[in-house]
Amino acid sequence: MTQEGFEFIGEPKPPSIEQFSDIFTLKWEDRNVKMTVDRFATDRRKNITAEITADILDAPKGEGHITRARQGLLSTFRTVIGDCVEFGPSVVTEKDWKIMFKQMQNAVIDKYRMGEPLIDLAEMSAEGKKPHILSPFIYEGNPTTIFGMGGVGKSLFCLYLAVLLQTGYSHGRLKPKKMNVIYLDYEADPSESKYRADQIARGLGIDPNLVHIYYRHCSVPLVEEADVLFRYVREVNAECVIVDSAIPACGDALDASNVASFFNALRSLSTSEKQVASLIIGHTTKANDRSGGPFGSTVWRNGPRSIWEFKSEQQTATNEIDVQLVHTKSNLDPLLKPIGFRIKWLEGSIEIKPLDTLRHATFSVDAPLADRIEMTMQDHLNIDVEGISKKLDTDADKIQNELQRDTRFEFNHQREKWENVAL
């Protein structure tokens, strides 16, 4: 790298500064130097360390690296400056480097400590609620959790959602916005995920070669790699990140602090210019857990904006699994009715079709009582309250109360029976 054409007079001018989450990029155009400061850490004494990388600004990729080191941001940078003098542009003096590091200190420490700025909401435009990127499951820029017992098909289903997002293919009630997806896998491996994604694509009638899901096998807690993930998101212009699954992504420690850090890391992937949604797969070992969230933990319930419980049932010696997703939390919409699917393994493909959960022997108990009453009245036109009570195995008084409460039903005094006026 030659330095011809660079004639520097006086001290280095203050750098331009770009900040994305906790990643700072400083550029000294008059010195042809760039610094990146990221991977911040704060110890018990509030000392801040960070990884500092110096590069020649206009060098071809991979050719302009000067130095990289983890340093306390209040240090003198003596060793690092020595490396910069030795390996950096010959026209940049030791005095220049000392000035540039001091400028970096003053800019980065203050910005890092300040965190997010104050916002006057009155000066903001009211955009309303966030739209779906995949209706009805995933909202733009927000975390969604799908949880359930282990080994029931959650990963397969979320890979199915990734295929829909990556291709923009609408399937039944699922209406995706076409976008790039990053799949962070803490459990399987690339070959297994590729095999499954290809089978799902064939089942949808999509050429597997057209499904470009960005996959990454992970072993380190997500918090420790948030800056790396931030770069990947920008590199491939991803708008959704799928995390499979929550426990290893949190480092196997599900205390409140770890979970909060996990969701903060996901939040940091978004900027004012780009909103990044996330879909987190959570496992629970409690078949009868009724907490409405994974692991029976309130911290896991508070983090996502929307939570779906994943239930499945497989008949013995069949190649089919019936799946139901029950909406247990929403900060953005009223709770939605359960949604069902039937997953069928065929030769070389996986077929996923809608399933009517109201008419499913097992899943129907999760449906709203009014919906179950409506279905029973459709199937048995002259049925009375006692008859509905027997069919649904529900107390007659509860049936009566629901008929009186729901506007779909009206008592016909001439016929002395309840009718569904919505039909």
Burial class (CB in 10 A: 0-12, 13-18, 19+), 275: middle
Cα 140 from chain centre = 10
Q: Which tokens hold the place of 25?
A: 């990029």
- C-beta of residue 241 within 8 angstroms of C-beta of residue 203: no
β partners of residue 102: none
Q: Which tokens hold the place of 338?
A: 């359960």
Q: What is the DSSP letter of 145?
A: E
Q: Is the domain of 307 the same as that of 393? A: no
Q: Which tokens hold the place of 109?
A: 């420490």
Q: How many CA atoms lie within 13 A of 179 on its CB side?
A: 27
Closest CA to 24 of 83, 112, 95: 112
Q: Is the domain of 147 the same as that of 281? A: yes
Q: Is the domain of 32 the same as that of 106? A: yes
pLDDT digits (tens, 9 = 90+) for 87-124: 999 889 999 999 999 999 999 998 888 877 788 888 76
Query: Using 50, 70 and 90 to split pLDDT, how confident is the model at 286?
Result: low
Q: Is the domain of 93 the same as that of 32? A: yes
Cα–Cα dist 397/404, whole Å: 11
In a domain, 225, yes or no: yes
Q: Is the domain of 191 the same as that of 301? A: yes
Query: Using 50, 70 and 90 to split pLDDT, how confident is the model at 285?
Result: low
In a domain, 396, yes or no: yes
Q: Is the domain of 298 the same as that of 175? A: yes
Total domains in the fold of the chain: 3
CATH number at residue 327: 3.40.50.300
Range(s) of the domain holding residue 407: 368-420
Quote the pTM value: 0.78
Q: Is the domain of 99 the same as that of 148? A: no
Mean pLDDT of 25-32: 94
Position 290 pLDDT exceeds 60:
no
Q: What is the pLDDT of residue 104?
A: 96
- C-beta of residue 44 within 8 angstroms of C-beta of residue 26: no
Q: Is the domain of 212 the same as that of 273? A: yes
